[in-house]
Amino acid sequence: MARNQDNAQWQSVLPAAGLVALVLLILLMTAVFRTDREPEPMQRNAAADPSPAPVIEPPIVQEEAEAAIPGSPPAGGTVSVRERADRDYRRLSGMEDRFTSHLMLSCDQDNTRRHMEGAGWHDNLYLLPAEYHGQDCFRLCWGIYPTREATEAEGAILPYLAREFPERTPKALAEIRP
């Protein structure tokens, strides 16, 4: 009878001891495999040159920078809505026979900037100068297409623009480019 009582005592203690052992194991593993500490710097070879090799980059010409990323604002700065419209006007010269998806006409530079920033100043987003009732305004357009049908069929547009401009109108560039 005493042996059955000893067995019952151990059966009630074993689950608690297992739980304590599991917690201790987790704490030990957390201490060993910590990821929040800084990585140790790599050891340099004593024979290696202690100074890093200089990085030589070719100078960037302004025209090349604009051609490389035509839609984005310059690095380290911002571009005004007017500057972007002038730049896009130049980018589209000679494409009067093409079509675009017209999103909006805006005479408010802050509103226009908000939409450009919302679309990440994407280079497939075109901003063209326009005049409306004697005011300086801007046309916001998406993409350049060979035909009106291709413009209508195009479904690839940034989610931000699709939300803001569910109705898009295909327009000939000759029709909207001043």
pLDDT number for residue 74 = 45
Domain-embedded: residue 26 = no
N-term to C-term CA, the chain: 104
Quick one: tokens of 172? 């000939």
Average pLDDT over residues 41-69: 42
Q: Strand 169-172 vs strand 125-132: parallel, antiparallel, or unpaired? A: unpaired
pTM score:
0.54
Domain-embedded: residue 88 = yes
Domain-embedded: residue 124 = yes
Domain-embedded: residue 5 = no
3-state secondary structure 10-66: HHHHHHHHHHHHHHHHHHHHHHHCCCCCCCCCCCCCCCCCCCCCCCCCCCCCHHHHH
Tens digits of per-residue pLDDT, 85-137? 999 999 988 888 999 999 999 999 999 999 999 888 888 899 999 999 999 99
Cα 106–Cα 112–Cα 117 angle in degrees, nearest 5: 155
* Range of the structural domain that residue 120 is part of: 78-176
Domain-embedded: residue 90 = yes
Alpha-carbon distances of 6 from 1, 11, 12, 15, 18, rounded to whole Å: 9, 9, 10, 15, 18
| CATH at residue 143 | 3.30.70
CA 73 distance to own-chain centroid: 13
Q: Which among 72, 68, 57, 166 has a CA at the least distance from the CA of 117?
A: 72
The two most distant CA atoms of the chain are separated, in Å, by 106
Quick one: tokens of 90? 């130049």
Measure the CA–CA gap between 34 and 29, rounded to whole angstroms: 8
Domain-embedded: residue 7 = no
What's the domain count of the chain?
1
Tens digits of per-residue pLDDT, 151-171? 888 767 778 888 888 888 899
